[in-house]
A and B are shown apart, each in its own frame.
Chain A
Amino acid sequence: KAGVTQTPRYLIKTRGQQVTLSCSPISGHRSVSWYQQTPGQGLQFLFEYFSETQRNKGNFPGRFSGRQFSNSRSEMNVSTLELGDSALYLCASSLVTGSYEQYFGPGTRLTVT
């Protein structure tokens, strides 16, 4: 069974631009969660989608948004990028919402200049 995949793996953007990151969960998994990982803050929960609906949301500004498609693939969008948005963005999939068994992807390394 293929693992969680994330595209692109690396991205360089300029301050003020917007970016879209993609996550394909493990086949059969319907829940996708997104995290921001930085050296100073560790992993911070962004949001979780299940069956195309946002189920949980972390404490991030509205510039961070996401969606999930009917095939469970999820995208995360960040608008008006700031230097502080530079981070590794991880997604994790699980069979159902509320499951502790999350399987993480390799992450997308976003650098904002």
Chain B
Amino acid sequence: AQRVTQPEKLLSVFKGAPVELKCNYSYSGSPELFWYVQYSRQRLQLLLRHISRESIKGFTADLNKGETSFHLKKPFAQEEDSAMYYCALSGARGNQFYFGTGTSLTVIP
């Protein structure tokens, strides 16, 4: 069965410290993995997708098929990174997305 697991509901780091938000998935097939972010009082929006292999706002995420993980990383956290982060998976049927329960990141000044 398809599942996305984000083990940390809450994560706090100090400004300038590295941050890693964990995401593990289970899917029988070749999924597409994404990270979505929701800043305070804003709408949910796409942060990055694994296929593009790009860095957005300093964040990167590498798909590890062996460990079925797609952790989100940033070497130096900024206060503006404080937000809710959701890991998501899209299967072969396109727009059927499976989201994790989210991790609330707080960057302490």
Contacts and interface: CB of A to CB of B under 8 A. Distances in A.
Nearest to A57: B96
B43 A97 contact: no
A97 B99 contact: no
Which of under 10, 10 to 19, 20 to 34, or 35 or more describes the interface residues of B? 20 to 34
A33 B45 CA distance: 14
Contacts of B97: 33, 35, 43, 45, 102
Interface of B: 6, 32, 34, 43-46, 49, 86, 88, 90, 93-102
Contact of A42 (B45, B46, B94, B101): B101
A98 interface: yes
Given A43-B88, A103-B45, 13 more contacts: A33-B97, A35-B99, A40-B101, A45-B97, A48-B96, A55-B95, A56-B96, A58-B96, A97-B95, A98-B93, A101-B46, A103-B43, A104-B43
Nearest to B98: A45
A55 B94 CA distance: 10
Interface of A: 3-4, 31, 33, 35, 40-45, 48, 55-56, 58, 90, 92, 94, 97-106
A105 to B, nearest CB: 7
B94 A98 contact: yes
A88 B102 CA distance: 15
Contacts of A97: 94-95
